[in-house]
Amino acid sequence: MKQTAVEWLVEQYIEKLTITPRMVEQAKQMEKEQMIQIYKAAFTDGFNGELFEFEQYYNETFKSE
């Protein structure tokens, strides 16, 4: 499963015991890219006649069981 931007930033903090402005900017960029992927998935699924379920997409993409 993929990591969310928040999970990545927390992991960086745990490893380095600090968060730099560069890490914050990288996490923001990761979040933007993840939002674009979610939007594209919703757009594509909507045109295939399937109801886009954000929670299902999020769980399949970012949650590990």
| Average pLDDT, consecutive stretches of 10 residues, N- to C-terminus, the chain (65 residues) | 87 93 93 83 60 70 68
The overall pTM is greater than 0.75: no
Give the pLDDT of residue 18.
Answer: 92
Domain extents for the chain? Answer: 5-62
Give the pLDDT of residue 1.
Answer: 65
What span, in angstroms and rounded, lies between the C-alpha atoms of 55 and 25?
Answer: 26
Q: How many Å from the N-terminal Cα to the C-terminal Cα in the chain? A: 9
